């Protein structure tokens, strides 16, 4: 892949090649996206200029925008009249939400479903899926709800259902793949302490425990699942955010370590994560903590490099891709997340 200016169609093909594995040249795609996004997003061009960045060699050199920038700037790398979807962040009442605009959902869906299939070891035949997370019918601006719809369409059997109450789990002990935010799952088990799940059931938990002691409450969630007959190895954590198009998982269902302290979120093959010192923005050594910076080429229509307010421990990942152990939010960072969105709506 050469370094000249690429058309949108060519960029999309190059990103799709990373997703399907026919290309592994993440650096070349990062360079092409960097030039495209500077050319078509004025706010990002000004950020790069103020940072003194002219050209880059690879993904590690791409200037990252903070997640808060999605609250205050239009970070579209395309004309606004091409917008087909806009997702908004959750947060505290009265807060300006972050907005992530798309002029196509093709790459987003392809990447999300590829990573999901891998994390849950899904066979070619369809399976029973129960989502505690509302569908897009009731959450039009939620990227997580959009992902739930795609999961049901791509992998769900006819008896799959969106059931925020979880009542259907009380009526049948048939194996299922349960989708829920951490707080929704925790609340379900608190309401139904005697529920029993098939040991073949798998669970996706996401969103964390905003404003709570994450390590303690996640342990308690796993204890609830265990009392319901489910091994911890079948409970997989998903890490994502409105400002990203890809998702990070902390294992593969049925094979993940049951020791939560050893769970590592690993980027999918096409994405990358750095754990950086918040002052110098240099990579911290393996085993040390810092801010998480994610590189997601599926963000072709916005900005590929995102600096978060999340803290993590840098860990050796898979195939040279660093992973991280999630610690929570940096001190002073605003409370946000999909768990908060859906608990506030109950």
Q: Can you give the pLDDT at residue 218?
A: 86
Q: Can you give the pLDDT at residue 217?
A: 80
CA distance 267 to 322: 8
pLDDT over 90 at 26, yes or no: yes
Indicate the burial class of 204 (C-beta count within 10 angstroms; 0-12, 13-18, 19 or more): buried
Q: How far is CA 346 from CA 87, 121, 205, 209, in A?
A: 20, 32, 18, 16
pLDDT category at 5 given cuts 50, 70, 90 is: low
As a residue count, the chain comes to 346
CA dihedral 101, 106, 107, 113 (to 10 degrees): 110
The arithmetic mean of pLDDT across residues 314-327, rounded, is 91
Q: Can you give the pLDDT at residue 92?
A: 58
pTM of the model: 0.91
pLDDT over 90 at 346, yes or no: no
pLDDT digits (tens, 9 = 90+) for 128-155: 999 999 887 756 789 999 999 999 999 9
Per the prediction, the chain carries an average pLDDT of 90
pLDDT over 50 at 118, yes or no: yes
| Percentage of the chain exceeding pLDDT 90 | 82
pLDDT digits (tens, 9 = 90+) for 87-99: 999 765 567 899 9
CA distance 121 to 94: 41
| Percentage of the chain exceeding pLDDT 70 | 89
């Amino acid at each position: 892949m050469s370094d000249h200016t690429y058309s949108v169609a060519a960029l999309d093909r190059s990103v799709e090649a990373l997703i399907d594995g026919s290309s592994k040249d993440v650096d070349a795609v990062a360079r092409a996206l960097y030039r495209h996004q500077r050319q078509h997003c004025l706010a990002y061009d000004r950020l790069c200029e103020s940072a003194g960045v002219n050209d880059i060699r690879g993904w590690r050199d791409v200037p990252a925008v903070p997640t808060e920038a999605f609250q205050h700037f239009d970070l579209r790398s395309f004309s606004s009249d091409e917008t087909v979807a806009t997702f908004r962040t959750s947060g505290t009442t009265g807060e300006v939400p972050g907005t992530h605009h798309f002029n196509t959902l093709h790459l987003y869906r392809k990447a999300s479903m590829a990573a999901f299939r891998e994390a849950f070891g899904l066979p070619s035949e369809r399976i029973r899926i129960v989502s505690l997370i509302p569908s897009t019918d009731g959450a039009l601006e939620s990227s997580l709800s959009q992902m739930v719809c795609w999961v049901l369409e791509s992998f769900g059997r006819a008896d799959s259902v969106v059931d925020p109450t979880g009542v259907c789990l009380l009526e049948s002990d048939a194996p299922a793949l349960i989708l829920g935010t951490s707080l929704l799952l925790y609340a379900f088990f608190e309401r139904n302490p005697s529920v029993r799940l098939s040991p073949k059931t798998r669970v996706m938990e996401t969103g964390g425990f905003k404003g709570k002691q994450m390590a303690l409450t996640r342990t308690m969630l796993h204890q609830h699942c265990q009392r319901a007959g489910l091994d911890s190895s079948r409970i997989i954590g998903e890490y994502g955010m409105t400002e990203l198009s890809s998702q990070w998982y902390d294992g593969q269902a049925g094979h993940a370590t049951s020791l939560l302290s050893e769970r590592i979120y690993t980027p999918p093959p096409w994405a990358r994560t750095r754990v950086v010192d918040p002052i110098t923005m240099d990579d911290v050594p393996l085993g040390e903590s810092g801010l998480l910076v994610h590189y997601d080429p599926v963000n072709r229509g916005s900005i590929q490099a995102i600096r978060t307010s999340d803290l993590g421990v840098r860990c050796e990942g898979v195939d040279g891709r660093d992973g991280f152990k999630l610690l929570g939010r940096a001190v002073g960072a605003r409370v946000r997340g999909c768990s908060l969105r859906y608990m506030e709506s109950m």
